[in-house]
Structure 1
Amino acid sequence: MSASESYVLGIETSCDDTAAAVVLRRADGSCRILSNEVWAQHDDHAAYGGVVPEIAARSHVERLDATIEKAVAAAGVDYDQLAAVAATAGPGLVGGVMVGLTAAKAVALAHDLPLFPINHLEGHALSVRLTEKAAFPYLLLLISGGHTQLIRVAGVGDYERLGTTIDDAAGESFDKTAKLLGLGAPGGPMIEAAAVGGRTDRFALPEPLKRREGCDFSFSGLKTAVREAAEGIPSPTGQDVADIAASFQIAAARHLAQRTEKAMGIMGSHGEGRLVAAGGVAANCTIKKMLQQLCAANSWRLIVPPPKYCTDNGAMIAWAGAERLAAGLIPDQAEAMRLAPRARWPLALHEDGGKLGSGRKGPKA
């Protein structure tokens, strides 16, 4: 391995997926994903209709060591070949983040490796570069269970948040709508499956913030309108559920596209016509189609990572660490080892001053 190439181990435990991966950043800046192990916890939480933080943290404790060992073995590397270890340090469910970050600190100490505490949102922001040579700058639409943001990605460590949700995240609204309709979890795939054959025009759902300036999002009113529509049908049939799911899905997609178009206007020529959609909700086909139409109308290019890299995974965390290592953004190791896990951690550096682990506590940060 040349000095300009690096193997990096990544650990991700911010929610309910226990994940570890090893990536190789080549001399030309491209990525080779050597392993990407994800242990999903859907069955552990199914009876509760959503993720239970205490159960998630306990599951990470039970599964993480084996997941890390499996990722390293599958990559065909030894620990002494690693250049660094990266781990999600926030934002997320603090119990889960604590498990992953503590394990990463132990690996770094045991094998004398530099530790990179990674902002989970940065993992999503750079995930497109796992499989594509996406040049900076680009506009990122981050849509996941806990986050809905529009971010100008100017380079590694250089981010500007243009818009965020003022209440619920997109994925959260999908999950709660699925629970309301009795579809189960995870909500995104369940809503998408239920919407097949449903009428998108049966229910007149609101268009949130349509006349509001800026690029912020809001899903609480849409979620309330869906609940009222469902409660207005005494004994809903399968077709009723399909129609509600389809109406909600198209309304959510339109809202995401409408606010994204405003951010495209702010980016102007600086965006150079690239929109990246990342996060678990970006795997939704209706949303992708709406964004494709938006980009075509504005002569932009839409880039969406493969679905397995849209959802939470260790490869994106390893890659964020590899990108920071290549850029010379190596954290002070004493500070990295002292860093406490964060439930909230805004990504944009103009908000947190760029200091590791600092940042204003904002809604849905």
Structure 2
Amino acid sequence: MLFKKEHILLQKAVRDFVKKELDTLPAEMDKTGVMPRELMDKLARYKFISTIVPKEYGGAGADYVSYAIVMEEISRKCCSTGTFVTAGSSLVALPIMNFGTDAQKEKYLKPLALGEQIGAFALTEPGAGSDAGAQQAEAVLDGDNYILNGRKCFITNAPICDFAIVIAMTDKSKGVRGTSAFIVESSWEGFSHGAHEDKMGIRGTETSDLVFQNVVVPKENLIGKEGMGFKIAMNTLEAGRIGVAAQALGVAQGALDEAIKYTKQRIQFGKTLSKFQNTQFTIADMETKVCAARLLVYDTAEKKDAHMKIEKEGSMAKYYAAEVANEVAYKALQLHGGYGYIKDYPIERMYRDARILSIYEGTSQVQQMVIAASVLR
């Protein structure tokens, strides 16, 4: 990947930020399950949570290659912080950017980009995971308002959000074409969240259910038109795969970094592990796959910036980078031996964090379905 000058400067800026702000913090967040508000504010100040949001709404107004750089470099050190960044940058911002009214952009997108408010994206339900069309949450029109009832699960930022993008049924007779998207404020009566999930990885992000009990949602908070909910969600996830793919790439590179550092220091049988051919072959395999994933990720980002279709490319990048992240984290931990199994070494956390990458925002199997459908069309 040959970056332009502005991308090289951005990469250096993000790396400097990570070195200064994310030294010991990832391990601390992993223990507490809480991301400090100070870190969130700094991410907003540097426009890392609003890379692709237009400048007129408080964002950086940058391209998707820049977004991928931000995601890769932050996730290289902390997958939890990467999850927080991509949740706001794409999942919450894109529905409003691409389908929202000017009033909605001013009221919600701008404070989101400036870090004044935190958003959440509520699509997944207990009975609607990969089968996103099986929604049960329902919004019934009543005069000038919709009455929203339902429950969403595994929602990033749910316990701390100021508002959520909620996909709900407005006409059950039409299936996925009967879903609509709404902006729902957490301060409204009937809006509540469940307990913070005690997760395996990305423990620095707060995740819980969202529950809606007769929440009154004004008609002006409908995004787009009725029946566009599934389209809005899929459009958002398609572009969002660039961010998650870049996040997976960052985790893979971070795990590889740890493996290289450890094997060059650890002495066994009178020499460092890096001198053994088995170690060298393992490192070579890891490096090759990380570089291959990087090409897929940035090729997709460049095509998105060129306004090309990325349905297949986005799924390939997300699928491959996520699987590589898991494989590289596994091999990196194996190279650490017993030390990799204790929390004193970052690879233990990275190994747990990597697992989510093949699951959220479309499992690896869903990505395979999209790729196959594109190829066999």
TM-score tier, shorter chain, comes to under 0.3
Bigger RCO of structures 1 and 2 (CA < 8 A, at least 6 apart): 1
TM-score, with structure 2 as normaliser: 0.23
Structure in which a larger fraction of residues adopt helix: 2
